[in-house]
């Protein structure tokens, strides 16, 4: 058996949309940081896990929130056994090891926190650690990756232009129908006919005009529905739980969405 196929088979499964795999790889080779934006559940996190494994790099993921401090990323002194020891944060660890530091939902982090990324995200590629006086030079393997969902953004939660203009940006979106069917069968090994039905429901729900949903149904939810149905849950019950109730709390809207589901399953 071909060794390359064997390697590909052990990677976290990711179905590409266009040239994002090559772009990411070339960004890494050229020591450029990458920003990934796109709606929830469209494969951003999976893509990063896939690429880290493909490139053989350790991956440090940080879920950003508005309490995240620069010390949470860089590190801090901890007291134990009567002495103070320095403890690297995930960003510092990724720099030392030449791996990927992935900041998920980066717009949630405070602007004074994201500023620590600046010297690492431009051609200097250094991480000054104020508390220890160290200045770490990032090795060639190191890569900074950030992602966010532009749908949730408001003015206060946007990236500073000086931050975003340090990244190569990849825009992700909902997959085409054929690709989404491929993702569902690849991810859950479900019957292709079921995948086709779920994707057709998603297509209808994503284009519903008069329904006020905060965000359209994600591929993630379709994967949930396929898994439930695959293990014997009735399709309408599975779609209500895995799709409809996860999209809305409004009873009228939920029933309107269920009509689309029922029509697709011929119920
Ligand atoms: N291109 C893809 N290839 C394989 N699986 C995918 C793909 N896109 C979505 N999925 C499936 O959808 C799920 C959600 O994807 P993922 O967690 O990467 O989304 P995300 O974009 O990071 O969402 P969020 O913004 O909510 O974090 C995955 O666990 C996987 O099952
Ligand atoms: Mg994610």
pLDDT for the residue numbered 98:
97
Rounded Cα–Cα distance for residues 96 and 110 (Å): 24
In tens, the pLDDT along 208-266 reads 877 778 889 999 999 999 999 999 999 999 999 999 999 999 999 999 999 999 999 97
Same domain (yes/no): 15, 120: yes
The residue among 171, 187, 221 that closes a domain is 171
Same domain (yes/no): 65, 149: yes
Same domain (yes/no): 80, 165: yes
Residues around ion ligand 2, judged by CB within 5 A, are: 44-45
Predicted confidence band of residue 4 (pLDDT cuts 50, 70, 90): very low
Same domain (yes/no): 229, 125: no
Q: Which atom of ligand 1 is nearest to the CA of 104?
A: 27
pLDDT-wise least confident of 24-28, 64-68, 140-144:
64-68
CB atoms within 10 A of CB 50: 20
Ligand 1 midpoint to CA 218 (Å): 8
Same domain (yes/no): 49, 138: yes
Number of domains in the chain: 2
Same domain (yes/no): 54, 142: yes
Q: Which ligand is nearest to the CA of 38?
A: 1
The residue among 109, 143, 171 that closes a domain is 171
* Lookup result for tokens 């939902």: 105
In tens, the pLDDT along 52-83 reads 999 999 999 999 998 999 999 999 999 888 89
Q: Does residue 154 have a pLDDT over 70?
A: no
Ligand 1 midpoint to CA 46 (Å): 5
pLDDT for the residue numbered 251:
95
Same domain (yes/no): 137, 201: no
Rounded Cα–Cα distance for residues 230 and 8 (Å): 25
Q: Which atom of ligand 1 is nearest to the CA of 17?
A: 1
The residue among 171, 187, 209 that closes a domain is 171
Pocket test for ligand 1, best of 148, 178, 216, 220 (most atoms within 8 A of CB): 220
Predicted confidence band of residue 100 (pLDDT cuts 50, 70, 90): very high
Q: Does residue 108 have a pLDDT over 80?
A: yes
Same domain (yes/no): 164, 181: no
Rounded Cα–Cα distance for residues 15 and 127 (Å): 34
Closest C-alpha to 167, from 31, 10, 20: 31
Ligand 2 midpoint to CA 181 (Å): 20
Q: Does residue 15 have a pLDDT over 80?
A: yes
Q: What is the mean pLDDT of the chain?
A: 92
Pocket test for ligand 1, best of 35, 40, 42 (most atoms within 8 A of CB): 42
Pocket lining for ligand 1, CB < 6 angstroms? 13-15, 38, 40-46, 149, 183, 187, 219-220, 223
Same domain (yes/no): 65, 98: yes
Q: How distant, in Å, are the alpha carbons of 58, 92, 100 from that of 76? A: 21, 11, 20
Residue span of the structural domain in which 184 resides: 177-264
Pocket test for ligand 1, best of 46, 51, 186 (most atoms within 8 A of CB): 46
pLDDT for the residue numbered 111:
81
Q: Which ligand is nearest to the CA of 150?
A: 1
Same domain (yes/no): 148, 60: yes
pLDDT for the residue numbered 215:
86
Same domain (yes/no): 83, 132: yes
Same domain (yes/no): 159, 233: no
Rounded Cα–Cα distance for residues 84 and 78 (Å): 6
pLDDT for the residue numbered 155:
55
CATH number at residue 73: 3.40.50.300
């Amino acid at each position: 058996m071909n060794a390359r196929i064997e390697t590909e088979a052990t990677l976290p499964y990711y179905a590409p949309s266009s040239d994002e795999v090559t772009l990411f790889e070339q960004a890494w080779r050229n020591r450029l940081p990458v920003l990934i934006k796109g709606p929830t559940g469209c494969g951003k996190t999976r893509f990063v896990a896939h690429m880290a494994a493909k490139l053989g790099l350790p991956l440090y993921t940080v879920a950003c929130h508005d309490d995240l401090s620069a010390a949470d990323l860089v590190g801090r002194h901890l007291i134990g056994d009567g002495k103070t020891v320095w403890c690297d944060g995930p960003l510092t660890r990724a720099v030392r090891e030449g791996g990927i530091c992935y900041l998920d939902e980066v717009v949630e982090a405070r602007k004074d926190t994201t500023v620590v990324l600046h010297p690492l995200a431009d051609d200097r590629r250094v991480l000054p650690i104020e508390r220890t006086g160290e200045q770490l030079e990032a090795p060639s393997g190191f890569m900074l990756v950030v992602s966010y969902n532009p749908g949730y953004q408001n003015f206060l939660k946007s990236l500073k232009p000086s931050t975003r203009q340090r990244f190569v940006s990849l825009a992700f979106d909902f997959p085409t129908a054929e690709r989404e069917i491929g993702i569902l069968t690849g991810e859950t090994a479900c019957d292709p006919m079921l995948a086709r039905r779920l994707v057709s429901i998603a297509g209808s729900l994503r284009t519903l005009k008069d329904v006020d949903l905060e965000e359209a149904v994600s591929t993630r939810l379709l994967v949930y529905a396929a898994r439930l149905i695959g293990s014997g849950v009735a399709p309408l019950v599975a779609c209500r739980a895995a799709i409809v109730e996860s999209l809305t709390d409004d009873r009228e809207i939920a029933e309107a969405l269920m009509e689309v589901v029922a029509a697709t399953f011929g119920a």
